[in-house]
């Protein structure tokens, strides 16, 4: 079978347009503007780029964007207090804490403090557990994007063989679950896997 290039930029543009249309519909029907709060701790250059991009895309879709930039030495109790405030804020419908966090902070405790209904990264144990159980759940964006790209080439992934290289909580593990939910046959490989070339073949 010949290789086929997937034009991710075109698919992303179409997806952004659909999101903007849905935001406009929600505003008309309910008088409500969806709001995304992004929390950035520290000054990691890659994280700053991601946060700027998220802010720009959120606004372009017609949503409200709330940015919270905290110093790298912020106390855990202060960060937890901010998350609690965002959980209670009716204008905030999604919360994203940019990872990685400084080593002085307990990432698991921070993620667990986010209201599962506002956990847009899908990392809260409630969402990860629901996804693993084949139930409706918020899913991390990158693996969901992989499914969207794959289905742009194959309308159905049922019965197909898929290999996922990497087992991170943000990409590898949720992608495995999403592929299983599509009824694909999935192999997961990682840094300890033997003969990766053969597995991929």
CATH number of the domain at 94, please: 3.40.50.10860
**pLDDT classification of 2: cutoffs 50, 70, 90:** confident
Verify that 101 and 162 share a domain, yes or no: no
pLDDT tens digits for 122-137? Answer: 999 999 999 999 999 9
Q: Write down the pTM of the prediction.
A: 0.89
Residue 147 lies in a domain: yes
**pLDDT classification of 179: cutoffs 50, 70, 90:** very high
Domain boundary among 118, 139, 157: 118
**pLDDT classification of 201: cutoffs 50, 70, 90:** confident
Verify that 45 and 98 share a domain, yes or no: yes
Give residue 29's pLDDT.
97
Give residue 3's pLDDT.
80
What backbone torsions phi and psi does residue 135 show, to the nearest 5 degrees?
Answer: -100, 165
- Other Cβ atoms closer than 10 A to 123: 23
What backbone torsions phi and psi does residue 2 show, to the nearest 5 degrees?
Answer: -70, 145
Give residue 4's pLDDT.
85
Residue 2 lies in a domain: no
Residue 3 lies in a domain: no
Distances (CA, A) of 75 to 48, 53, 81, 177: 20, 26, 10, 35
Query: Would you say 98 and 41 are in contact if contact means Cβ atoms under 8 Å apart?
Result: yes
Task: Count structural domains, the chain.
Answer: 2
Residue 190 lies in a domain: yes
Kind of pairing, strands 64-70 and 94-97?
unpaired
Verify that 29 and 77 share a domain, yes or no: yes
What backbone torsions phi and psi does residue 168 show, to the nearest 5 degrees?
Answer: -70, 155
Verify that 196 and 174 share a domain, yes or no: yes
Verify that 93 and 161 share a domain, yes or no: no
Q: Is 117's pLDDT higher than 90?
A: yes
Q: What is the mean pLDDT of residues 64-85?
A: 97
**pLDDT classification of 78: cutoffs 50, 70, 90:** very high
Q: What are the structure tokens assigned to 176, written together?
A: 């495995």
Residue 192's domain spans which residues?
130-200
> What value, to the nearest 5°, has the Cα angle with vertex 40 and ends 138 and 169?
40
Q: Is 1's pLDDT higher than 70?
A: no
**pLDDT classification of 180: cutoffs 50, 70, 90:** very high
Q: What is the mean pLDDT of residues 24-46?
A: 96
- Which residues are part of the catalytic machinery? 54, 98, 121
């Amino acid at each position: 079978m010949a290789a086929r290039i997937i034009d991710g930029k075109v698919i992303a543009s179409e997806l952004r347009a659909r999101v903007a249309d849905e935001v406009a519909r929600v505003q008309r029907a309910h008088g409500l503007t969806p709001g995304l709060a992004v929390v950035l701790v520290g000054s990691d250059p890659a994280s700053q780029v991601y946060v700027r991009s998220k802010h720009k895309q959120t606004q372009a879709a017609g949503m409200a964007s709330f940015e919270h930039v905290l110093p790298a030495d912020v106390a855990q109790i202060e960060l937890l207090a901010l998350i609690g405030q965002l959980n209670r804020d009716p204008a905030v419908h999604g919360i994203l804490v940019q990872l990685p966090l400084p080593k002085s902070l307990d990432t698991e405790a921070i993620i667990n403090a986010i209201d599962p209904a506002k956990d847009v990264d899908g990392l809260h144990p409630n969402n990860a557990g629901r996804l693993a159980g084949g139930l409706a759940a918020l899913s991390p964006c990158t693996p969901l994007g992989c499914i969207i790209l794959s289905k742009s080439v194959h309308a159905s992934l049922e019965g197909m063989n898929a290999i996922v290289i990497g087992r991170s909580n943000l990409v590898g593990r949720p992608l495995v679950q999403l592929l299983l939910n599509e009824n694909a046959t999935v192999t997961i490989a990682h840094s300890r896997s033997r003969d990766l070339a053969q597995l991929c073949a």
